Structure 1
Amino acid sequence: MAENTTPTDKDAPLRDDIRLLGRLLGDTVRDQQGEASFELIERIRQTSVRFRRYDDLDARRELEGILDALAREQTIQVVRAFSYFSHLANIAEDQHHIRRSRAHLLAGSAPREGSLAHALDKAARALGDAAPDELAGFFDDAFVSPVLTAHPTEVQRKSILNCQTVIARLLDERDRMRLTPEEQEANDAALRRAVLTLWQTRMLRPARLSVIDEVNNGLSYFDTTFLRELPRLYASVEDRLGAANGELPAFLQVGSWIGGDRDGNPFVTAEVLERALALQAAAALGFYLDELHALGSQLSLAVGLVDVSDALQALAERSVDHSPHRSDEPYRRAIAGMHARLAATWTTLLGNAPPRPPVAAAEAYAGPAELAADLETIHRSLVANGSAALARGRLRHLRRAVKVFGFHLAPIDLRQNADVHERVVAELLATAGGVADYRALDETARVELLLGELASPRPLASPHMRYSDETESELAIFRAARAAHLRFGPGVIQNCIISKTDDVSDLLELAVLLKEAGLLRPRENALDVNVVPLFETIEDLRNAPGVMDRLFALEPYRALLAARGQLQEVMLGYSDSNKDGGFLTSGWELYKAEIGLAEVFARHGVRLRLFHGRGGSVGRGGGPSYQAILAQPGGAVQGQIRLTEQGEVIAAKYGNPEVGRRNLEVLVAATLEATLLAGEAAAPDPAFLDTMQVLSDTAFAAYRGLVYETPGFEDYFWQSTVISEIAELNIGSRPASRKKGTRIEDLRAIPWVFSWSQCRLMLPGWYGFGSAVKAWLTTHPDDGLARLQHMNREWSFFASLLSNMDMVLSKTDLAIAARYAELVRDTALRDAIFERVRKEWQDTVDAQLAITGQQELLDGNPLLKRSIRNRFPYLDPLNHVQVELLRRHRESHDDERIRLGIHISINGIAAGLRNSG
């Protein structure tokens, strides 16, 4: 399975890696499946490359003929081979990005856009003499947090990811080291073994993933990337800023929803939350124990050769380590004592013995601050006594890790739907005898009643009453959160998010439930977590500023907000707003909501932190994070930002430590630039805003007209995509729909977008834009195009929108999508809808090229264009085979091998597209 491209010289190593991995995969197929299977797969590959590269229609007909004639077992072998090649190509591309980054650094090139070095240099130039103070102020107040979420587009098993990690490490070794012939031979053999292991590792899960499985998957990225790369990133920023700034606060943290996100997931219970928190704590404490052990082996400094501080000497004397062999090694004794205390902390918090036993029993640490203080004692002693260099390695990174990750590793957010909170509060009120039918009250009456409950320290729930299963479950979650605060500290759970927020009472209902668990204490005006509204639909986004305005006008809530430092977080939903109103309108309404929220918060003197609920695909708010953050309206960032990292994007961004470090840098760099350097660009030309509103109105009508107002569209969607099969696939703990049935309104946004990606139509990422531009040009024939071109040049929001759409359109393939459309049984319905989609696609492409001035899609992004050129010949056979398998599966539901082939093809196509969910 060789790869033939004509890259520039700098891309030659990428070509070599793809050829190497393709050859190893081909050899593996030949050895494992036989020469005939290898020859078949190679013929398919060569024919697909000929068709895709040279637009050879004879090759296309030949390819279709080969694939249509495949027997069942041949089909599965072909799907496996091309799926694994997509995975291997991803590894090669990631390694090439690392290679190119290193080449820039080795050549002494100027820092690249998106790096922290570039952002800091840019700030220094723009701010002049004020730069040191401005940067210090930024980092003092900044908060940047990617939040890992488990969603059913993460189709990779951890075992597959482990195999890929081994292959990436071996490629990296070949790239960085000059290997001897013997070392080269060993590397070749190891690569061959790794590819064989990948081929023989089951790609799919035999059973649906549990929430705890998802927790463990998420923890693997802490072990691989976050625990080590975050401290190094902090150190890099501190060194670049200089000693005058000292140690930075913990402004960059990783959060998680895994184990706390209950919205539509009945499997997230109080017991699951408690277990997730324990697993996280074990990961953090285990890392610290290992690092202390290694640090002790390194700091073998002896009395008589080095002086130590009185504090360090006292720490050594308090140690439980009394070995005569270390009597003159105070640092080792001190660290052994710290290790023993941390081991006792493990037992206290987790109830069992740690993996590495201590030298003796010791008192547990009361919290991470005590451990941090002991590490600080070691640091100060080293610095004061001529050993500062020893304080800058492992010790420095461990000190930072303890301050960032604490004993809880990452804060877990709680999330639930507003309707659930409403039902629980209604039951509590009715049972307590206060209000017989809370849900019948209007908004004004609800707010008045809820404020009264918040003012009273009296709980509503009684331990002597039996409530509905839903109410019992919700109360148990909040009580578990309170217990976690007492056990691990307040950093363990910091946010409670309300899905489908549409008015003030939704926030107050959550506040009442927090009061029931002791997380809100009226007499102290104490609120232990952030109450976070999530505005998701188009209507909710439009109402968001008004809801927050009314909320801030309530004095009791403002008093509670004071306990949170007058900072209010608001989450914005990209996925549901897109499914509700389409790509263009979703983006525009999000932008307007941010402007409105910034104005409301400024008027009330409340600090705004936006939490962006972005997915991996453009249809769910995805796309490059750097451009997305810089495209935010003025006043929307304010040094504070959280954003979700979802599905397969987590593996793509953080599965490799160096790639993960780069992605973390991008988030900080963009937040810094958007906060300190927005300048005049923060206020776009009013004419741009007017134009966007007109475009949005037309696009909204076009999208709603197709998806929600066309009779039979629901049937078209379910029959022409893999949505039914995705619902069966064991790729997540969460059901595909919020309710039973096939209504698009009830379908989760994630499988909605994922399904359109699989059939290569990508409809949620572009539909409606062509109609909008066409109508605009009709009503503005003289200057309409010039206006749009000007917006693309001068307005980062519009440019980012077009850039994301450029990527989606380039991954769309109408010829392949047409084959999926043939699965629709109603011929008239199929032809009518697909022709409508085809016309809108052409209008959208025409508009995109006219506005950007490109001759072809992705002219402005040669790296992605190259990537697509390399990988699409391997995706086309997967799509073709998937269509045929779907046809066979829907004719005969009892063939497990056909179902297996479909599920493997879903995995392979997702890997090839990389940001499909």
Structure 2
Amino acid sequence: MSNTLAEFKNLVGTKFEMYNSLFTSLPFHKVEKTGILLSLFLLHCEEGFRNNQSPAEIIDSFFRQYTNYVSSKEQIDLLFRFIQYSERQVVLFDALEDAAFSATHDMDGSGTLKQLQTEVVQANSQLQLAEKLKDFSVRLVLTAHPNQFYPSAVLGIIHDLGKALQKDDTVLVNTYLQQLGKTPFFKKEKPTPYDEAVNLIWFLENVFYHSAGHILSFLKSEFQDAVTEENQLIRMGFWPGGDRDGNPFVKADTTLKVAEALRQSIIKCYYMEVRLLKGRLTFQGVDTLLASLEDRLYKNLFIPGYNAYLSKDEISATLIEIRDILIAKHNSLFLNKVNNLLDKVNLFGLFFASLDVRQDSSVHKELVELVSEKTSVLPKNYKNLSEESKIQLLQNIDSLVVDTDLDKDTFDTILSIRTIQRFNGPEGCHRYIISHTTSALNVMEVYGLCLMAGWKKEELKVDFVPLFETIGDLRNAAKVMTILYQNEAYREHLKRRKNAQTIMLGFSDGTKDGGYLMANWSIYKAKEELTRISKEYGIEVVFFDGRGGPPARGGGKTHQFYASMGKNIANKEIQLTIQGQTISSNFGTRASARFNMEQLMHSGISNALFSLRSSTMSSPEEELLQELAEESYQAFNILKNNPDFLEYLNFASPLRYYAEANIGSRPSKRKAGKLNLNDLRAVPYVGAWSQLKQNIPGYYGVGIAFEKLEAEGKWGDIKNLYNHSLYFRTLMGNCEMAMSKCFFPLTSYLSKHPKYGVLWNLFYEEFERTKKYIFQLTGKSELMADRETDQLSIRMRQRIELPLITIQQYALTMIREKGVKASNSPEVKVFEKLVMRCSFGIINAERNSA
């Protein structure tokens, strides 16, 4: 047993059992019975599934054997108490993992900046490092994709509970557990986009502000000559309030309000730190400067309209003056504290995190066509012109007076970017992401709308970021960018934007479209081709990866993907979205945030400095992966085109209840109407498979592809690819993670269903097939056998959530049995509430999906 695993068992496993006993004193109704009965229920579930019982059979037999509850009301009441109890167990487990993070992870080991320091010195690569750090950065973009159910109050309790657990303060732990007992875990109303922004700003203030500052200070102390003020090595991005793709509740005033909240939040962080500095820097000549800075920050925070009198440069200049006085007159006393604050000011400015605007390309297309109908700015026959002609018109268009008939909010949003830049600085909001980009025209439509809104070409400080996501769009991406690079107006715009082009490559819709292997491989190939053509046109391409929490949405061990990129893929920056439970699981504490940011930085830097050309796959290896992806794609296409595919998911999972769960501000579908795969958002799609414990998007088609190529005598080649390619191993490792979260006994009762039994058996066969081949590849007899700590964490979480998934499936069965006619009856409404309440705990328990 490794030291890490031993520490995990001691600090998380043993302590969970110990503190879990404190739940018997929680202020719940009949709580003394709930804890005992839940323990019995867990054992009963495990035995029942071993005996191939259905969830309904397990729950019915439990009530008969262990309770004297006869009425439906008494039984439902106990199930709700089980849910309430289990939710708090998940919180306790989260807090214990957070508290133990530094002990269960080697904070100076593999993939850390401490290791990078050793590698650089040993290889005498200081000059190469300095060259790499001139323009390298890691950009973490926080999104409001709703796959975590903790309200902000509960997040705060987890944070405080973790600190108490670190100190083994049993009295305080007990107090916080009682607080949890009184704190609601569900939201009566949907959060607004502003609510979502406030929730994520909590992480910026309490975690990223401190962790990023720590990393910058370390880099400057260890690589003083390599780190310059000109390049910020860590950048934060932000989507809540700017992401309006499919979210009708995000308006221009929302974007402005969130930008102001970000500005106020970072000023508050500076203000608090300056107040702490005042207690140390009590020296003549320094104290008055610090008092003056504190006063200006205070007025910005508490006096309305004062923001015009503060700038990032003003704060920096004051701190530099203080630094110079400390060096000249006060023996550099507490200089490190001033430098640390100065680093943060340079990093976060007055914007904290750069607010991205995102909208679907169809919205811009409809608006431009409306402009041609309603105004004289574009010809009336615009809609019937060729793409080339449309682009020519849009790049030379005049501004117009906008009225409400022309979707005034879109123009107001474009103008709000300029307002935010004026108050928060140019980095405050400068990227416009265009979802579902299928052509160069989609990008030039936004360019034209900016000109219509009154921007002058020479003053247009906006980066247009096309988002390619479906398999077809990824394959077409290079063609789209070639047309843009050849366009004279767009090239001139890129020159004014430092000759750099950011391209976003999304994963979630790719998985829905092409399955796990093809989605990953299509992104890899698109990056290769986009790197090649960008170099050809002298453009510095930067890839922005839209990756979610679970592997099925592009998550998993993300830093390994960056470490595995070949030399033929641009890696000037690492940019990725941090979504849902990934924020709290990977960046929820200062220790975990620092560790995971360092892992990303190390992967990007070491890949450039030390990786051999072997990280770039050979042509035969690429051809083999292409074959595997094609076979997998064919298998997934057959599945997704099955008319019962989505109906099965809707029938067996809580998919239809996502929209009612009040988890996020935006609808679960892009458009109203009949359920279809294109309009269904990735979060409810992947989340429903996850709650069903089948995780189809994370592996389906992989086993079929392996079987096909093995039959062609290519298994030896596949084995060699696995042994030699970090990229392929990372793909398979994340596939293993998705499969390790599966639990088919939960739904085995569907195997004999007259309509859906065929699909259930198809999924189960593919799961077993993929598992068999993964075992042949790894030489192991267990999934994730080489990641013992993660494996144990998943198993412990699965035990906590087993009662929840059993209750949820039972409730879904009851709803189906009552039938459509009873859908509005009070009895059915109670079962629907059971389904949704179980969802909260199940998804929170899946926290370690990344």
User: What's the TM-score once normalised by structure 1's chain length?
Assistant: 0.87
**Which residue is equivalent to 2:776?**
850
Is the 1:482–1:517 Cα contact (8 Å) retained in structure 2? no
- Between the aligned partners of 2:600 and 2:58, the Cα distance in structure 1 is 43
Unaligned stretches of 5+ in structure 1? Answer: 1-5, 106-110, 175-186, 302-328, 354-363
2:344 to 393, 401, 405: 401
Does residue 75 (structure 1) correspond to residue 73 (structure 2)? The answer is no
Alignment match of 2:708 (pick from 775, 779, 786): 775
User: Higher mean Cα deviation, 854-863 or 594-603?
Assistant: 854-863
Does residue 262 of structure 1 match 2:205? no
SS in 2 for 1:388: coil
Name the structure 1 match of 2:72: none
Match of 1:724 in 2: 656
The CA deviation string for residues 720-745 of structure 1, in whole angstroms up to 9 with x for no partner, is 11101112100000100001121122
Specify the SS of the correspondent of 1:330.
Answer: coil
* Alignment partners' CA distance in 1, 2:805 and 2:754: 24
Partner of 2:840: 907
Structure 1 residues 57 and 555: alpha-carbon distance in aligned structure 2, compared to 1, 3 A threshold: closer
Q: Structure 1 pair 166/767, CA: closer, same or farther in 2 (3 Å)? A: same
How far apart are the structure 1 equivalents of 2:190 and 2:656? 15
Determine the C-alpha separation between the residues in 2 that align with 1:244 and 1:510: 38
Match for residue 462 of structure 1? 401
Residue 745 of structure 1 corresponds to 678
Q: Distance in 1 between matches of 2:250 and 2:53?
A: 53
Alpha-carbon distance change, 720 to 601 in structure 1, aligned in 2, over 3 angstroms: same
Cα shift at 1:44: 1.7
Q: Which residue of 2 aligns with 1:98?
A: 102
Which deviates more from structure 2 when the two are superposed, residues 432-441 or residues 690-699? Answer: 432-441
Per mean C-alpha deviation after superposition, the further-off stretch among 722-731 and 859-868 is 859-868
Determine the structure 2 residue equivalent to 1:359. Answer: none
Q: What is the distance in 1 between the residues matched to 2:167 and 2:46?
A: 30
Deviation at 1:87, TM superposition (A): 2.4
Task: Name the counterpart of 1:793.
Answer: 723
How is 1:622-641 mapped onto 2 (pairs within 5 angstroms)? Answer: 622-641=555-574
Structure 2 CA distance for partners of 1:152 and 1:13, relative to 1, 3 Å: closer
Aligned residue pairs, count: 829
Q: Distance in 1 between matches of 2:610 and 2:183?
A: 49
Partner in structure 1 of residue 790 of structure 2: 864
Describe how 1:46-57 pairs up with structure 2 within 5 A: 46-48=43-45
Whether contact under 8 Å (1:233, 1:661) holds in the other structure is: yes
Tell me what 2:390 maps to.
446
Q: In the alignment, which of 366, 369, 374 is matched to residue 431 of structure 1?
A: 374
Q: Return the index of the structure with the highest Cα Rg.
A: 1
**Residue 594 (structure 2) aligns with:** 661
Match of 1:209, SS state, is: coil
Q: 1:57 deviation in Å?
A: 7.4
> What are the equivalent positions in structure 2 for 1:88-127 lying under 5 Å apart?
88-101=92-105, 111-126=108-123
Residue type matched to 1:811 in 2?
A: K
Query: In the alignment, which residue of structure 2 is the partner of 1:25?
Result: 23
Deviations 1:667-714 (A, max 9, x none): 21112122323330242121111111111111111111111x212222
The reply to whether residue 42 of structure 1 matches residue 24 of structure 2 is: no
Task: Check the 8 A contact 2:8/2:100 in 1, yes or no.
Answer: no
1:83 and 1:904 in contact (8 A); partners too = no
| Residue 830 (structure 1) aligns with | 756
User: 1:238·1:248 contact (CA, 8 Å) conserved in 2?
Assistant: no
SS in 1 for 2:355: coil
Q: Find 1:85's aligned residue among 66, 89, 92.
A: 89
- In structure 2, relative to structure 1, the CA distance for the partners of 1:578 and 1:58 (3 Å cut) is closer
Residue 221 (1) aligns with residue 159 (2): no
Q: How far did residue 248 of structure 1 move?
A: 7.4
CA contact (8 A) 1:152 1:750 kept: yes
Letter in 2 for 1:462: V
Q: Do 2:531 and 2:570's aligned partners in 1 also have CA atoms closer than 8 Å?
A: no
Q: Structure 1 residues 246, 606: CA separation in 2 closer, same or farther (over 3 Å shift)? A: closer
Match of 1:529 in 2: 462
Letter in 2 for 1:510: V
After alignment, is 213-222 or 156-165 more displaced?
A: 156-165
Of residues 465, 472, 475 in structure 1, which corresponds to 2:411? 475
* Displacement after TM superposition at 1:795 (Å): 0.9
Distance 1:694 1:147 in 2: 33
Residues 435 and 828 from structure 1, CA distance in 2 versus in 1: closer, same or farther, beyond 3 angstroms? farther
Q: Which residue of 2 aligns with 1:296?
A: 278
Is the Cα contact below 8 Å between 1:411 and 1:493 reproduced in 2? yes
What is the deviation of 1:34?
A: 4.1
Distance in 2 between the 1:234 and 1:702 partners?
A: 47
List per-residue Cα deviations over 1:190-213 (Å, max 9, x = no partner). 111111111221110000111111
Q: Using the TM superposition, give the Cα deviation of residue 867 of structure 1 relative to its aligned residue in structure 2, in angstroms.
A: 1.5
Q: Secondary structure at the match of 1:140?
A: coil
Per-residue deviation, 1:50:
6.8
Which residue is 2:736 aligned to? 806
- Match of 2:298? 343
Q: Is the 8 A contact 1:610 1:636 kept in 2?
A: no
Identify the residue that residue 211 of structure 1 maps to in structure 2.
193
TM-score (norm 2): 0.93
Structure 2 residue corresponding to 1:280, chosen from 252, 262, 276: 262
Report the alpha carbon displacement of residue 389 of structure 1 after superposing the two structures with TM.
3.5
Match of 2:334 in 1: 390
Contact 1:149 1:258 in 2 (8 A): yes
1:222 deviates by: 1.3
SS in 1 for 2:577: strand
1:591-610 per-position Cα deviation (integer Å, ceiling 9, x unaligned): 10010011011111110110
**1:514 pairs with 2:450:** yes
User: Contact 2:133–2:233 at 8 Å: present in 1 too?
Assistant: yes
Matches within 5 A, 1:283-682: 283-301=265-283, 329-346=284-301, 351=305, 365-393=309-337, 395-433=338-376, 434-453=378-397, 458-459=398-399, 461-463=400-402, 465-468=403-406, 471-519=407-455, 521-522=456-457, 524=458, 526-682=459-615
Give the CA RMSD over aligned residues.
2.4
- Give unpaired runs (5+ residues) of structure 2: 70-74
AA matched with 1:429: S
Measure, in 2, the Cα distance between the counterparts of 1:67 and 1:116.
Answer: 53
Identity, % of aligned pairs?
A: 25
Matched-pair contact (CA < 8 Å) for 2:157–2:180: yes
Assess, with a 3 A threshold, how the Cα gap between structure 1 residues 247 and 430 changes in structure 2: closer, same or farther. Answer: closer
CA shift, 1:580, in A, is 0.6
Shift of 1:243: 6.2
Q: CA 1:7/1:596 → structure 2, altered by over 3 Å: closer, same or farther?
A: closer
Structure 1 residues 26 and 62 mapped into 2: Cα distance closer, same or farther (>3 Å)?
Answer: farther
Partners of 1:494 and 1:818 lie apart in 2 by: 51
Which whole-Å CA distance do the structure 2 matches of 1:38 and 1:339 have between them? 51
State yes or no: 1:173 paired with 2:103.
no
The alpha-carbon deviation at position 20 of structure 1 amounts to 2.3
Structure 1 residues 795-845: Cα deviation after superposition (integer angstroms, max 9, x where no partner): 1111110000011111111111335x47xxx93321111111111111111
Counterparts of 1:9 and 1:294, CA distance in 2:
35
8 Å Cα contact 1:234-1:248 kept in structure 2: no
2:206 partner SS: helix
How many Å separate the matches in 2 of 1:516 and 1:381?
Answer: 51
